[in-house]
Amino acid sequence: MNVRHFAAAALVAALAVMAIGATGASGRSSADTLTVWLQVDAQSGWPDVVAAATAQFKSQNPGWDVDVQYQTWGTHLGKFDATLAGGNAPDVIEMGNTEMTKYMAAGAFQDLSGASFPNQSTWLEGLAASGRYLGKTYGVPYYAGSRVVTYRTDLFRQAGIKRLPTSLAQYTAAARKLAARNKAKNFSPVYIAGTDWYVAMSFVADFGGTIAVQNSKGGWVGTLDRPKALAGLAAFKKFFNAASRASKVTDEARPQPYDVYSRGGAASMIGPGWFSCCVGTHKAATGQFVMPSHTKGQPMPGFLGGSDLAVPIGADRDKATAWIRAFTDNASMTALRAKGNIPNTTSMLGSSVNERAARRSWFVPTAKHWVSVENGNILRTMLARILTNKMTIKQAAEVASDNIAFTLNQR
Amino acid sequence: MSSALEAQPLEAVTSRAPRPATVRRRRRRRAARAAWNLLGLAVFAVMVFPVFWMISTAFKPDVEITSLTPTWLTTSPTLDHFRDAMDPQQHPGFWDAVKNSLVVVGITVVLSIVLAFLAAVALAKYRFTGRKLFVVLMIGILMLPAVGLVIPLYVVLARYGLTNQEDPLPTGALAGLIVTLLAFLLPFAVWTLRGFVLGVPRELEEAAMVDGSSRLGAFLRILLPLVAPGLVATSIFVFITAWNEYIFANVILSSQSNHTLTIWLSYFTGTSRNTDWGALMAASTLTAIPVVIFFLLVQRRIAFGLTAGSVKG
Amino acid sequence: MTGTAAETGAPRSRRRRSFAVRGLLRGSVPYLLVAPVLLVIAAVLGYPLYKLVTLSFQQYGLPELIQRKGTWIGLDNYESVLRDEIFWDTLVRTIVFTAACVGLTIGVGTLLALLLVQVSPWVRVLLTGGLVLVWSMPPVVAVQVWYWMTNFENGVVNYVLTELGIGDYSQHDWYATTFSKLAMVTLLVVWAAIPFVTITVYAGLAQVPRELVEAAEIDGAGPVRVFRDVTFPILKPILLILTSLSIIWDFGVFTQPYLLIGASHLDATNYLMGVYVYIEGYGHSDFGRGAAISMLMLLMVVALSVVYVRRMVRMEDVR
């Protein structure tokens, strides 16, 4: 009967499905398409900049096409790993600055030291450092964002705060005034999540402390238990207790500070500049200022979050760098700046709050296992212990330092 | 049946007017039925509540979504979130994603049911060497930890040219996803359909043989209508699982024109900025619609079919 | 064609030849039928499986991935995992978690299926439709909604419990302790798994011959005894399938615990195996170790479900 034919047909169908796709070159994308992986922030934020760079590249390299594929944070590294294993990694990839070191150390990128890029001599050091490994350049700074204070102009006025604080002491005093005027339960004059280590480490950096340093043999030593860092942590605890009613063990995503703010639960919050997007009904009464240092007149060093552009191995280096050059030239940087970002060069730094905050910044240790420290929540655990008084500051810092050193020194 | 025969004489004896005992029994049964219905509705309310919350949030204005007092049903519903979700500026690729999901899932369902059915028939109706091994293989695959297989699988597909990073026909990546889904879903489908096929009585099959047709051919002709409901039930499971597939789809499909709805959905929470929760809920509601439609189309078959063909003890 | 050669009275020699040829063709039929499935599975999963096993014996991190070459280290990965106290803690925790999930899923699922039998048709359609809606909700979205419902600031659950007067649950943090975190994950996983169980068991229930039930009732058996003596034996095969599938899925569950507990609250005190293999293996880009843990997980799942699987594989001989 026709069943055997049917079975044979099914076999053919299964083969056909695979054949459909296999009709083409195996191995990497063909010689005239440049594959670029950018994060989806570019697609929603500045698609025109991408389009302009692509057009410029195409006009300079006739016959070449550019395929920009937008990725999401959180999944793009897993996908990158898969393409590295499969031998078809993209030609240009956007990497978070904290993600760079691990991949540079593993040999995932091509050495760009010989190539030249726009504004290379005035690159923002915070970003440029994340693209360097053992003296060679692997990453081109793309853009950055710093941390600022977003605040309620109306509440500040109501509480009689005439001038924006320019020192930590002034800010603490302002917080007390705000607390006196807004007695609602759980109202935070300054909303800071208990385990928000970005804010806490800013305090540490403000007092000259560091998270970890490399000794002469290349090994890592945790330095949170040194006096300067301890001073910073103490200042953080003091400020938190005076100004924030957030849970001492919660992180800075649950709840989102801007959600608390838009509900009227906070008079100010510390976070990236784009926080002002999501303040609900308080849009008109919201402003920003630079987080003050404990030294009057200085900004507190802010965590410089940002992205670099790298060229994975196996890519056409010349074409890839050509595209990167088109994407990071002055025109692009001007456009990025207009969208509220910090450009990659100090020569274009203006005086917006975001940019002024970036003049003093700190960065995480450029160790290939730093990501493991973050994933292991070592800093968060330390902060929770400090704020809930489960351990003294010194004890918690010692434990954390040991853990950090252990993690960073893994093979 | 014997009990029905016994009931006859009794009913013949009783008069037309129902006796008080019967009335009481009927009333008790109705009361019992009403009580069960009430319980059923209560269970429905509890089980479906999260889905209700998702849909209701999709219509709430932003301020109600983040407020400290939860709103059950908003008094000022808005379609903004649906508009934002499908807005090609903010969340590009919606309709492409719909098309891709339908294509991938449609082909996967059809192919998996056909291939699995054939294999199930072989397992249930034939004795051949390697049969037991094959059955164990099927359930063995179900036990595999998927996360460990992602990268090696990608390497395999890349070698065949079935991922997005290859130039030619963009259908390559979709084909790669389809075969991957098939590889993981076929074992389940074979397993389930085997149970349904096992339930078909031997007598029917033997009756077909006397007819003078080939064993397999007639068997299939008789079998299909009886197993159709089982096929439908399995196809729903395959549909839903393929529809919600994320890990492999995410790695295999890179270019936005190839994305399925599940990947498109993940972009709502993938930026470094805030997540538009209202739009995400609206988007999720939209992605649930095809599944519901599919279910409504086939559910009548289920009601009948789930009643036949399950494994007998 | 089959079996009728004798009836057609064909000459003996031709009959014998036809039988022989037919036997050969018939013999090849089952292989032809399973070939497509085998082909797809072998082509897609063959190499990955081989790679997974071999990776577990290699030192294979990010540098090795990039160079596409690992170093053979024998059983070192396995040793390091088996010596890790966290592995054993996680294993025990996951076994308990799986037992709870499977027990609740099968128990509640079966009860709901029994309920489906008792209600009016319109309620049945409503409930089944609702279950399908639940079944089709993407896990990521389900987690988010679950979190909204249970978070201490503005979760509906707290609001309802307080309004109903059960106690003062405003601001109650359902994620405060490890037990409550895992309880929330359990509830979410069970909730999402019930529809499949209920609908499948309902199908099986409809198979139970009414005559047997009525006969038992006439004999004076209450509903519990009817279930135990009549319904349950018939349901057994289905329950076996569902139980083994549930064990397999719940043991390795990843998305729900990972997203619900959240990356910043996940640590060794609340790892489940699915999360553990991800974080300890792939999160550190230690693919060799991840492969070893995956192999060990496979072993555990086999061990946990072998009883049920054995029974099911043997079942086909009952035919």
Burial class (CB in 10 A: 0-12, 13-18, 19+), A215: exposed
pLDDT-derived band at B165, boundaries 50, 70, 90: low
* Residue B109 burial (C-beta neighbours within 10 Å; 0-12, 13-18, 19+): buried
Predicted TM-score (pTM) of the model is: 0.86
Nearest CA distance, A85 vs chain C (angstrom): 6
The model's confidence at residue C211, banded by pLDDT at 50, 70 and 90, is confident
Q: Per-residue confidence at C47, pLDDT binned at 50, 70, 90?
A: very high
Residue A384: which H helix or E strand, with range?
A: helix A378-387
Tens-digit pLDDT profile for residues A377-403: 999 999 999 999 999 999 999 999 999
Q: How far, in Å, CA of C172 to CA of B51, rounded?
A: 23
Q: Could you report the per-residue pLDDT of A262-292, keeping only the tens digit for each?
A: 989 999 999 998 898 889 889 999 999 999 9
CA neighbor of B244 nearest in space, from C283, C132, A78: C132
Provide the 10 A C-beta neighbour count for residue B95. 11
At residue A325 the predicted structure's pLDDT band, cuts being 50, 70 and 90, is very high
Residue A348 and residue A355: Cα distance in Å, rounded? 10
Q: Where are the alpha helices (DSSP H) in A61-116?
A: 76-86, 100-105
pLDDT of residue B116: 93
| pLDDT digits 0-9 by tens, A129-161 | 899 998 899 999 999 998 999 999 999 999 999
- Give the SS3 label for residue B201: coil
C212 at interface of A, judged by CB pairs closer than 8 A? no
Residue in C63, C151, C264 nearest the CB of A195: C264
Q: Which residues of C touch B183 (CB under 8 A)?
A: 40-41, 43-45
In this predicted structure, the answer to whether residue B100 has a pLDDT above a threshold of 90 is yes
In this complex, do C267 and A195 lie within 8 Å of one another by their Cβ atoms?
no
CA distance linking residue B1 with residue B10, whole number of Å = 15
Q: How far apart are CA B266 and CA B262, in angstroms?
A: 6
ipTM of predicted assembly, 2 dp: 0.84
| Percentage of the residues of chain A whose pLDDT score is greater than 90 | 70
Q: Which of A235-239, B144-148, B254-258, C218-222: highest mean pLDDT?
A: A235-239
C-beta atoms of C36 and A87 within 8 A: no
- CB count in 10 Å sphere of residue C262: 17
Please report residues of C whose CB lies closer than 8 A to that of A4.
Answer: 25, 29, 32
* Structure token pair of residue B236: 């729903």
Query: Can you give the pLDDT at residue B210?
Result: 58
Element (DSSP H or E) covering residue C107: helix C85-118
Q: Are strands A33-39 and A92-96 parallel, antiparallel or unpaired?
A: parallel
**Do the beta carbons of residue B248 and residue A79 sit within 8 Å?**
no
Could you give the CA distance from residue C259 to residue C268 in angstroms, rounded to a whole number?
16
Ramachandran class of C285: left when φ > 0, alpha when ψ lies in -120 to 50, beta otherwise: left
Q: Do A262 and B63 touch (CB under 8 A)?
A: yes
The tokens of A388 are what? Answer: 């809930």
- Count CB-CB contacts under 10 A for residue B42: 10
CA distances from C97 to A114, C101, C305 (A): 56, 6, 15
pLDDT at B304 over 60: no
Distance CA A215, CA A188 (A): 41
Rounded Cα distance, C142 and A34, in Å? 38
**pLDDT at residue B303 is higher than 80:** no
Tokens read off for B92: 């590009």
Smallest CA–CA separation between B172 and chain A, in Å?
A: 3
3-class SS of residue B99: helix
Torsion on CA atoms A187, A191, A194, A198, rounded to nearest 10:
180
For residue A255, whether the previous peptide bond is cis, meaning omega lies within 30 degrees of 0, is yes
Phi, psi (degrees; rounded to nearest 5) at A177: -65, -40
For the ranges A357-361, B1-5, B127-131, the lowest mean pLDDT is seen at B1-5
H or E stretch covering B155: helix B146-160
Which chain B residues have a beta carbon less than 8 Å from that of A10? 114-115, 118
Distance CA A114, CA A230 (A): 42
Residue A288 contacts residue A80 (beta carbons within 8 Å): no
